[in-house]
Amino acid sequence: MKKLFLLILSVGIFMVSCTNKETESNSNPLLTEWDTPFKVPPFEKVELNHFVPAFEEAMKQHKAEMEVILSNTEEPTYENTIEASYYAGKLLGRVGTVFGTFNGVNISDELQVLAQEIYPKLSQHGDEIRLDPRYFEKIKFVYENKDKFNLNEEQLFLLENGYKGFIRSGAALPEDQKEILKKINQELSALTLQFSQNVLGEVNSFKLVVEDEADLAGLPNASIQAAKETAAADSIEGWVFTIQKPSMIPFLQYADNRELRKEIYDAYVNQGNHDDDKDNKEILAKILNLRVKRANLLGYENHAAYRTETRMAQNPERVFNLLNQLWEGILPKVKEERTALQAMIDMDGGDFKLEPHDWFYYTEKLRKEKYDLDESEVRPYFEIENVRQGIFTVAKKLYGITFEQIEGVPVPHTEATVYEVKEADGSHLGLFFMDMHPRASKSGGAWCGGFQDHYFTKDGKEVTPLVTNVCNFTRPSGDTPALLSVDEVSTMFHEFGHGLDGLFSESSYTEGSIAWDFVELPSQIMEHWAFEPEVLKMYAKHYETGEVIPDDLIKKLEASANFNQGFALTEVLAASLLDMKFHMMAEVDENLNVMDFEKKYMNEIGLIPEIYSRYRPTYFRHIMGGYDAGYYSYTWASVLDNDAFDAFKETDIVDQATAKSFRGNVLAMNGIKDDMEMYVAFRGREPQIEALLKSLGIEK
C-alpha cells in the first residue's frame, strides 16, 4: 500500500490551545534547520507540544509565500505561478511529514486527540488556497497559453494534470458552492480519521485469553510462545492472542479448538460493528453520503465516476468489466475449494457445515494432505533478516544498487532500521527505512511512505529521497528470530517495490500525478521474484542450520502456488466490488445501513456464505486512505504486473537490460508522465490480460 506523507497544496494548518506552548523557533526542532545526516527529520527531538507552534508558523509562511504568487501583477507564467507554488509551503510539508509519521507509527491517546483537531484544519487551509479565485485564474491563464512557455514533457504533464485537479477540486464553482465544498471536506477529514482510530482501538482492545493449555492443541510452538509473551506483557496469566494478523492467522490455521477459532475470527470480521463508542456504521454512512454530495456538487453522477476519471480505468464501467470477468471465472474455483474442504470435514467425522472461521484450518490440513506441505515447515527458511537480504540481492542483480545499514540517523521509532542506498557506481541514491513488527502504537497493515521525495531546489540542487517501509510482521519470540509466513514474505517484496518506485523517482518537484490504479504495478511486480526457485536459493536459508531451502520443498511451494487461490481472489474481488458499489450511490440515503447494504450486495453477486469480503464495511481502512472507489487498483495492477513480468521471463528474470528499461520508463517517470505512455514505452504495447488469466487458470 502506498501512503504519501509529504503535504504541499493539500496541507493545512490548525489552531488549538496547548499548554506549555513554545513560541521561540530556536527551541522547536520542527522550525530549525535540520543538521541531521541526510536532512532526516529529527524525530527523537520532537514532542507533541512542538506541533502547534510549528504548524502555526508553517501556515503563516505558506500563506505569505502564496500571497506573493497570487498578488503578482506580472503576466502569469509557468515559472512565476506553477513552479513557484511547488516551492511554496516547504516548511508546512516538513511539519506535516513528521506529524503524519507519528500518526502512523508512534500513536498515543494524546496524539489521536490532537489529530482530530489537526486534520480538519489542514483540510480547511488547503481549500482556502486551492479555492482562491486568483489562484485558479492564474492557473487557467498558464494552461490556456501553455504553447508559448516552451515547457518540457514533465512540466507540460504536471500543468495539464494540475489544471484538471483544480477543476476537480471545485476551483470553478461559484463562491457559495465553494463554501459548501469546504464544509464537506472538513467533515470528511474528521470522519475518516475517526473511522481509522476506531479500528485501531478495536485491534488493540481485543484479547483472546487462553487459560487451559489443552486449548492450545495444534498450534505451532512459535505461536504459543508469542502468545505467552503477549500475556506476560499485559500481566495476564495464560496465553493471549490478538486480531493482529501475525497472532490471528496461525491461530485460525492450526488451533484445534473450533469455538476459539470462531471467537477470534468473529472479533476480526466485526471490528467497528458493536454499537459502542468505536462503532463505525454511522460514521461510514455519513462518509458515503458526504462523498455523494461532493461528487454531485462537482458535476459527477457519483463518487466512483469522480475518482476513476483520472485513472487508467477512466470510468466505473471499465472497472466492473474487469472485476466481473474475474469474478465469473473464479467463483467455480472457490466452490470447488469449498467442496474439498467440506469433504475433509466429513472425512474427519465433523458433524457440521463449513463456516468462515473453518476455512483457514481445513485449508492447512488439505494443503498438508495434497502437497505434503505445512507452512510451519517453510517458516524456518524465511527468517526476516535473510528475506531482507534476499530482497536487497534481487535489487542489486536487477539494478546494480546496494543497501548498507547505517547508524546515527534519526528514526521514527527505535525498532526502525536505516539503509543507505547507492548506485552501482557508488554514488548516493537515497535512504531506505524499515519498521517491521506490530505494536500498540502503530497502525495495522503494511505501507510505503516517505519523509522526503526526490526533487530539485530552486537553484538546481538535487534532493534525494527518504523512503520508508512499515509492516506488521511476526515478531521474534524467545530465542527464535522472526520467521515469516509465505504471505508475509510476499508482502515484504510488495512494499519494497513501492520503495524502489520512490528511490528511483526522477521528478523535478515533490508533487506528481500518479494514476491510482497504476500505483500498485511497481509493488506487485516485485512479488513475482519472491518465490522463483533461482531467487529462493539466494535467501531462503534455515535459521538454525544455514541450509539453503531444499529442491523438494521448492517443488512443493511451486505445486501449491495456486492452492486456495479461489479463496484469496474471491476475498479481494468481493472487497473491490463492495467498494465500487458503495461509491456508485448517486443520491444521499439518510437511512443507509452499511451492513444491510453489504449483505444485500454480496448475495446479489453470489458470494458464498463461507467467505467474507477481505474487508467488511466497518473496518475497510483502505477506503479511508485513498483507495475509495479504488481498491480495485490491486486487481487492475495484476493485469499490468503479470504482463510486465512476462517481459523478464521472455529474457531472464534478472535481466539487467529489461530492468533498466522498467526503471527508466516506469519507476523513474511515475507521476510525471502518462501511465499508459510509460507502460507502452517499457513493453512496446498496451497491457494484455492473458498473463493474468493464465496465472489464475481462467480461460478467456
Catalytic residue IDs: 495
User: What is the distance of C-alpha 369 from the center of its chain?
Assistant: 35
> Is the CB of residue 312 less than 8 Å from the CB of residue 687?
no
Q: At what angle do helices 565-582 and 316-347 cross, to 10 degrees?
A: 140
**CB contact at 8 A, 488 and 540:** no
How far, in Å, CA of 223 to CA of 24, rounded? Answer: 50
Distance CA 472, CA 238 (A): 24
Nearest Cα to Cα of residue 7 among 489, 638, 449: 449
Residue 147's contacts (CB-CB under 8 Å, 6 or more residues apart) are none
- What is the SS3 assignment for 321-350? HHHHHHHHHHHHHHHHHHHHHHHHHHHCCC
Cβ atoms 566, 625 nearer than 8 A: no
- CA dist., res. 153 & res. 93, Å (int): 26
The C-alpha torsion from 364 through 367 and 372 to 374, rounded to 10°, is -30
Distances (CA, A) of 620 to 128, 444, 498, 556, 572: 30, 12, 21, 34, 12
Residue 684's region, left for phi above 0, alpha for psi from -120 to 50, else beta, is: left
Centroid of chain to Cα 166: 25
CB 466 within 8 A of CB 409: no
Residues in contact with 481: Cβ distance below 8 Å, sequence separation at least 6, in sequence order: 383, 384, 385, 543
Interatomic CA distance for residues 218 and 227, integer angstroms:
14
**Measuring CA to CA, how many Å separate 138 from each of 238, 268, 332, 413, 558?**
66, 50, 56, 43, 58
The residue whose grid cell reads 470480521 is 269
